[in-house]
Chain A
């Protein structure tokens, strides 16, 4: 990777700076994995303690909506990968376009998610607010709580990702982001986006497909 720009303070050369950035990003993503890991541990324990009821609760969720959303995220990841590829080649337009479409797929995911929540709320699956609870047992309610927290936290991460991609897309197109010199910026953002995708890849079977 060629870098003509002078390197920032603590670094001796561009290679070193780039490696540091990559390593830092991977480590940060590691901490994100540990964050969601706690939730997955909770899910595991629930399943261990109440296998039958967890399966019951899981069956109540909308498998197909979840599947569609998974597909949406996977596709968005593809777009991000393509965007990064363009960035490496210094194609500003391409970078911006792919990032923008990825971000909009992220928005689609959120829209579908909100629609799904509203369905579940109408069906009386979601605890609290309004509609009467149709959940038969306390454990199933606890499972729905976990579902809410996990998907909610994931949605929050996705929202941050969307904003990140949009900002970078704009900066790339407008040329305020030097490409390919500062390709590290879209690369790092892309890593974050892919991780959010990976987390969903695990959330989907654990929450929707417990049988």
Chain B
């Protein structure tokens, strides 16, 4: 039962974050705005992964498998952006 409750609470948090990111988009511009909206996006997906996608119940290996690809993408982003920023 308390599982259901926690699921609903997570949902509330997600909706609040959504509201936050929309409001932020009206107030912040440029890099700051990007940082905030992406930060919030990471927050949301973190909640989803941890509670809805069972990472809180799985042990290390599964967690690595689930999050590894996300980390791997940073390689692509880092180097591609580095090229464009230093041209």
The residues of A with any CB-CB pair to B shorter than 8 Å are 19, 22-23, 26-27, 29-31, 33-34, 37-38, 40-41, 44-45, 47-49, 51, 63, 67, 70-71, 74-75, 77-78, 80-82, 85, 187, 190-191, 194-195, 197-198, 201-202, 204-206, 208-211
Contact = CB atoms under 8 A, between A and B. Distances in A.
A90 B61 CA distance: 27
A195 B30 CA distance: 28
Given A23-B61, A40-B73, A45-B84, A202 B33 contact: no
Given A70-B18, A201-B45, A210 B34 contact: yes
B73 A23 contact: no
Contacts of B66: 26, 29-30
Interface string B11-35: 1001100100110111011100110
A81 B4 CA distance: 9
B27 to A, nearest CB: 9
A121 to B, nearest CB: 24
Given A74-B18, A190-B52, A63 B81 contact: no
Contacts of B38: 202, 205-206
B51 to A, nearest CB: 7
B7 A82 contact: yes
B40 to A, nearest CB: 7
Contact of B69 (A30, A67, A202): A30
A44 B85 contact: no
Given A41-B73, A85-B3, 17 more contacts: A19-B62, A29-B66, A34-B72, A47-B34, A71-B15, A78-B8, A78-B52, A82-B7, A85-B7, A191-B53, A198-B45, A202-B38, A202-B41, A204-B41, A205-B38, A206-B37, A209-B24
A40, A51, A81 — which one has the most chain B CB atoms within 10 A of its CB? Answer: A81
B13 to A, nearest CB: 10
Contacts of A45: 80-81, 84
Given A34-B72, A67-B22, A209-B37, A198 B49 contact: yes
Nearest to A88: B3
A148 B4 CA distance: 36
B48 A209 contact: no
Contacts of B44: 74, 198, 201
Contacts of B84: 45, 48-49
B15 A202 contact: no
Contacts of A209: 21-22, 24-25, 33, 37
B22 A81 contact: no
B48 A187 contact: no
Contacts of B54: 22, 187, 191
